[in-house]
Structure 1
Amino acid sequence: MMLSRTAPATLVGVAALLTGCAGAGAAESSGTSGKAAVSAGAPASAAAVAPGPETPASPAASSGAPVSTEPPAPAFDPRTDTAVLSVPAIGLEDLRVVPYEGTTDDWPGTRIQNRGVAASPYGDRGGVGPGEIGNYLVTAHRLSAGGPMRDLPALDKGDSVFVTAGGSVYEYVITESRQTSFRSERSLAEQRAAVPGHPGEKPTKAMITLSTCATPEDDAAGNFWRDDRGNPEHRIDRIGVLREVSDR
């Protein structure tokens, strides 16, 4: 009879001990103290599954729209991004202008022109990009590789030149003509100057120089000199000043 009366009391004590361990485990797993996780008189199991505060859903997630993981598009760099050149007065349309770090008609520039497109040098020995203050230099072949600038000599003062780049259209107007000699360092410096024709002068305007060979004119004059890249002595240059910028 003594055994039957004391056994229930022993079982109750064991049950209470197990219940206390469950409450502590729930508190540790939820990252809160036992006092915060278990309310007075509430079962430990209820405290363990009590819902926490909800994180507000993002507008894209709540609307069902896909969330973009693509990085933002890089900003347009006028000196290193390809542009497109059009000169209506000589029938030139959508000529790609490929920028490179260098100087006019060097080997890298010549290789670009040999692909039938225009080349634009930038950097310490080159020019600037479209729309920038300084001299935007653009060179292309006149006779070979499709001759995209075959009619450049016919470009007159007042004619428009359009350069499309980075979502904008830059309109330059031709203001003067020049001739560059490959056999004269002074002449080359004038062509490549930030203010065309005036080395050392600080630019205040956005300008453009379109340049191509004067091979037919040199040959007609009996001047058959060529450099190591096949360039004749003279280049025909047309200089323009930026007049307007508009959206494409």
Structure 2
Amino acid sequence: MSIPQLDIDGLEVQTYRGVTDDAAGHAIQNTGIAASPSGPDGGTGPGGIGNYQVTGHRNSATAIFLRLPELERGDEVLVTAGETVYVYRIATTRITSFRSERSLREQRAAVPGRPGVRATRAMITISTCRTQEDHAEGNFWADELDNPEHRIDKIGVLVRTRPA
């Protein structure tokens, strides 16, 4: 994965069976790479119809997504898989709450933010913690995996592909 706007180039993304920010995903993120959940409750793969979900640490393990909040509407994310580069364009930002099952369902939905809606196009959700902002607001809640209450999700849509 490459995000030119954030000076990220060639970030490894490891797929695993699970959901965003579970113990298996944390173990992957702790190695300094990004994690992509798949399976019945996870997302699709690069270029697949639905929600390609990628999570990474912001504050530890090389802080790969330290600057993710800077990503803006229109910025591009490039994902290379096999012989293809998938180019996604960021469309929106949403905040996910770990204390809300509804919010988690929205993050993990095939159409981000719209659980139960059938996906008709390829999308991406890139997610990282909102620890700094939560702490600045006096919110120090964390779950058993030390996830803060909120996540920052950058959501994009596939706009084109090209040969790798």
TM-score range normalised by the length of the shorter chain: over 0.9
Aligned residue number for residue 30 of structure 2: 114
Counterpart position of 2:84: 168
- 1:216 matched to 2:128? The reply is no
Give 1:138's match in structure 2, choosing from 42, 45, 54. Answer: 54
Structure 2, gaps ≥5 residues long: none
The answer to whether residue 153 in structure 2 is matched with residue 234 in structure 1 is: no
Task: Give 1:17's aligned residue.
Answer: none
CA–CA distance in 1 between the matches of 2:33 and 2:83?
Answer: 20
- TM-score, length basis structure 1: 0.66
Q: Secondary structure at the match of 1:109?
A: helix
Shift of 1:167: 1.1
Q: Deviations over 1:209-247 (max 9, x none)?
A: 000000000000000001001110000000000011110
Partner AA of 2:111 in structure 1? V
Deviation at 1:202, TM superposition (A): 0.3
Partner residue of 1:180 out of 91, 96, 118: 96
Distance 2:15 2:81 in 1: 12
The residue number in structure 2 matching 1:40 is none
Equivalent-residue separation in structure 2 for 1:182 and 1:92 (angstroms): 27
Aligned length: 164
2:65 to 149, 157, 164: 149
> Which structure has more strand as a fraction of its residues?
2
Map Cα deviations across residues 15-48 of structure 1 (whole Å, 9 max, x no partner): xxxxxxxxxxxxxxxxxxxxxxxxxxxxxxxxxx
Q: Report which of the two has the higher share of helix.
A: 1
User: Aligned partners of 2:26, 2:83: CA distance in 1, in Å?
Assistant: 28
Per-residue CA deviations over 1:173-230 (Å, capped at 9, x if unaligned) read: 0001000000000000000000000000000000000000000000000000010011
Q: Distance in 1 between matches of 2:29 and 2:81?
A: 19
Question: Unaligned stretches of 5+ in structure 1?
Answer: 1-84
Q: Which amino acid aligns with 1:124?
A: P
* Code of the aligned partner of 1:246: R
Structure showing greater relative contact order (alpha-carbon pairs closer than 8 Å, 6 or more residues apart): 2
Which of these residues, 206, 210, 224, is aligned with residue 122 of structure 2?
A: 206
Cα RMSD after superposing both structures: 0.4
Calculate percent identity across the aligned residue pairs. Answer: 59
Runs of 4+ in 1 over 6 A off after TM superposition: none
TM-score if structure 2 supplies the norm length? 0.99
CA distance in structure 2 between the partners assigned to 1:95 and 1:125 by the alignment: 24
